Amino acid sequence: MDKREPVAGWQVLVASFTILMVAFSFALFSLPIFYPFLRKTYHWNAAQASAGGSIVLLLIGVLGPFIGKLTDRLTPKKILLTGMCISAVSLMLLSTIAGLTQYYAFCVLLGIGTAAVSLVPTSMLIAPWFATKRGLAIGVINAGVGVAGFIAPNLTRKLIETFSMSNAFLALAGLMMIPFVVTLVLVRGVRRAPASAPRQSFAKAGDVIKTPMFWMFGLGLFFAAHTLTGIQQHLALYMTGHGVTPTNAAFALSMLLGASAVGKIGGGAIADKYSSRVSLLWSIVCLALGIAGLLAVEPGSPVVYWSAAMFGLGYGGVFNAPPLIAFEHFGTERVGTILGLFMMFFGVGTSSGGLVAGMIFDRTHNYANSFSVDLVSCGIGFLLLFAAARLGAPRAVSIPVRA
């Protein structure tokens, strides 16, 4: 990143990394570890258990435009702090569930809180401070998601096995204090910083949705994101269902999510050097290779961990894509609604991926069928993005930055 960036920008970078690592990721990536225990405790099927995560992911996407609009009107800091409080409350409530209705209701609340600490407000918080290396900066903060992905599954499994499922939810709620305090301390004031102008100029978000570019990128994001959770949400269930221990299954999920940290940074660097489109295409190739590896070997094979890591590289790059596309093509000034629209495609894709994979397994009792559908989805996303036209390079301008 550019050494000329102000100290406040680096403080915001640290805060954004912490928010995405803890407030956004710990609950989101820990939920799949709860699924086997929820199934055993309440006798739910795979689709019922994984639907909780799908609800959270769906709300992250559906609420994207609303969160973006609120962030434009208020400030990213206010939205983020509110989201952390909502997430903490929802996790405490999840510790009290006694049935499926409560589980889904509290997952709705968790989805609202997670949407408010998602890529939309965090990306808008960081983007104006890093004009020359914005892709790398977004990759770095998103790497916090990958770091949490490596830590959270194993930590959650340990908490459940050592204490209880209820206490594990309470512990995750308590962790929300970390990003809350960091945000209060490090994110302050109003400054001016360089940003980039859009490649195309539109008067409002309504004009954007009339362009072919919007739909090519949006649908490409949907199919790529569908692939992400079709694998991530069911990897642990797939492995434990074939006799792999919960410890090794959690380690495979950690490999996937940990490798995504590298994918985020690498994908951001590729976007800076080439374009967000090239970065996303590279990421989808990694997804396809990872799925092929999972389909080709036995679940107990050590190769599964390397396949999970390859998938994780692509996972990280796709995760970067919504803000990179929005900022590259539409600038950073009052772009919240547009970014939210791209997050809607991303969120609907991620929410449908886990749910559809669970439904296919419940009908066929074979995860190879679920993973094959994810591979097809991956291919459709690649074709859409491959067909998308490249646009001109952005130019630098200055805009006011509000914390």
Question: pLDDT band at residue 71, thresholds of 50, 70 and 90?
Answer: confident
Question: pLDDT band at residue 206, thresholds of 50, 70 and 90?
Answer: low
pLDDT for residue 156 is more than 50: yes
pLDDT for residue 303 is more than 60: yes
Place of tokens 């995860």: 367
Is residue 398 one of the residues assigned to a domain?
no
Tokens found for residue 327? 């900022």
DSSP 8-class letter at 300: T
- Are the C-beta atoms of 144 and 21 separated by less than 8 Å? yes
Helix or strand run (H / E) with residue 129: none
What is the rounded average pLDDT of the residues 121-131?
82
Is residue 113 one of the residues assigned to a domain?
yes
pTM of structure: 0.72
Torsion angle in degrees (nearest 10) through CA of 256, 322, 65, 389? -140
What is the rounded average pLDDT of the residues 268-281?
85
- Which amino acid would we find at residue 18? T
In angstroms, what CA-CA distances link 370 with 221, 229, 247, 285, 345?
19, 11, 23, 19, 21
Question: pLDDT band at residue 192, thresholds of 50, 70 and 90?
Answer: very low
Is residue 282 one of the residues assigned to a domain?
yes
pLDDT for residue 391 is more than 50: no
**Segments forming the whole domain that contains residue 328:** 7-391
Is residue 52 one of the residues assigned to a domain?
yes
What is the rounded average pLDDT of the residues 71-85?
91
What is the rounded average pLDDT of the residues 344-354?
83
pLDDT for residue 37 is more than 70: yes
Number of domains making up the chain: 1
Which CATH number does the domain housing residue 125 bear? 1.20.1250.20
Which of the residue ranges 169-173, 322-326, 387-391 has the most confident prediction, judged by mean pLDDT?
169-173
Length of the chain: 403
Is residue 318 one of the residues assigned to a domain?
yes
pLDDT for residue 202 is more than 50: no
Is residue 400 one of the residues assigned to a domain?
no
Give the model's pLDDT for residue 6. Answer: 66
- Which amino acid would we find at residue 385? L
Is residue 399 one of the residues assigned to a domain?
no
pLDDT for residue 392 is more than 50: no
CA distance 229 to 364: 19
Is residue 403 one of the residues assigned to a domain?
no
